[in-house]
């Protein structure tokens, strides 16, 4: 199982949101570069990095920070936020990003998703951000009636590296992940799935790891690291 400590960037700073609400935001002292370096020094092999400004604007904004991190440390970067075109993907990969996350553009246009996955083999992940099972778009601002369980059937045969399944109502709350819904979703596909949203403690992580749920590839951990609910050093030993 792969653990992805998360870095969300807004205004060049590390931040965390509660339930995707940009009016409920916490800013942290460490720069994204310093935070990435700490994760690397502790032995993490992967970082989940989201350009929140990019997600809102529909165009990557914090590219310079992403490039600096990629040049600074040898770590697998999974990056998303505002990725809407093949050029966006190509630029991030040129920075050394290992996995590019697409969301809004891929859900609106499955043809775009197919083209991206064919052109950038095993480099594309798709973010499915859901409220009560239905997908939200554009930095979680636009709610659709598309059920994630229906949508996944349409993308099953596309060469997608992984699916990031985020329960928006859990994200940033540290109330525990919506594991039942995530597992039920993961059983509908052969594409590896990451658990995202609500991780509150080391026990949440250990439980998911020890149960070896079918098709659950890993976990994204965010707010619980930043406010100290999870000891990052202990988390690094679970890798």
Query: Rounded mean pLDDT of the chain?
Result: 93
- Mean local confidence (pLDDT), 164-185: 88
Element (H, E) at 50: strand 46-51
Phi, psi of 54 (to 5 degrees): -65, -40
- Mean local confidence (pLDDT), 89-115: 97
| Full residue range of the structural domain in which residue 123 is found | 2-237
Q: What is the pLDDT of residues 208-235, one digit of tens each?
A: 999 888 899 999 999 999 989 999 999 9
Would you call 129 a catalytic residue per the annotation?
yes
| Residue 150's CATH number | 3.20.20.70
Strand partners, 194: 164, 218
Q: What is the pLDDT of residues 131-143, one digit of tens each?
A: 999 999 876 778 9
Q: What is the pLDDT of residues 53-99, one digit of tens each?
A: 998 888 899 999 999 999 999 999 999 999 999 999 999 999 999 99
- Which residue out of 8, 51, 53, 171 is catalytically annotated? 8
- Which residue out of 53, 129, 167, 171 is catalytically annotated? 129
Give the integer Cα–Cα distance in Å for 87 and 85: 5
| pLDDT at position 173 over 80 | no
| pLDDT at position 171 over 90 | no
| pLDDT for residue 139 | 67
| pLDDT for residue 176 | 85
Report pTM: 0.94
- Mean local confidence (pLDDT), 174-188: 91
Would you call 121 a catalytic residue per the annotation?
no
Quote the number of domains for the chain: 1
């Amino acid at each position: 199982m792969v653990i992805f400590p998360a870095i969300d960037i807004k205004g060049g700073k590390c931040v965390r949101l509660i339930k995707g609400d940009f009016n409920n935001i916490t800013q942290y002292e460490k720069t994204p570069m310093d935070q990435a370096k700490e994760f690397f020094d502790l032995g993490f092999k992967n970082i989940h990095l989201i350009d929140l400004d990019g997600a809102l604007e529909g165009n990557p904004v914090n590219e310079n920070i992403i490039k600096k991190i990629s040049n600074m440390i040898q770590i697998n970067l999974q990056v998303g936020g505002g990725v809407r075109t093949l050029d966006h993907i190509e630029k991030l990969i040129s920075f050394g990003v290992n996995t590019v996350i697409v969301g809004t553009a891929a859900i609106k246009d499955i043809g775009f998703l197919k083209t991206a996955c064919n052109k950038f083999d095993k480099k594309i992940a798709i973010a499915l951000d859901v409220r009560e099972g239905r997908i939200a778009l554009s930095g979680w601002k636009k709610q659709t009636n598309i059920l994630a369980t229906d949508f996944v059937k349409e993308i099953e045969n596309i060469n997608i590296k992984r699916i990031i399944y985020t329960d928006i109502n859990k994200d940033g709350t540290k109330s525990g992940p919506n594991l039942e819904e995530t597992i039920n979703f993961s059983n509908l596909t052969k594409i590896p799935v990451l658990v995202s949203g609500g991780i509150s403690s080391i026990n949440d992580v250990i439980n998911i790891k020890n149960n070896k749920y079918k098709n659950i590839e890993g976990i994204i951990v965010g707010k619980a690291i930043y406010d100290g609910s999870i000891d990052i050093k202990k988390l690094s030993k679970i890798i």
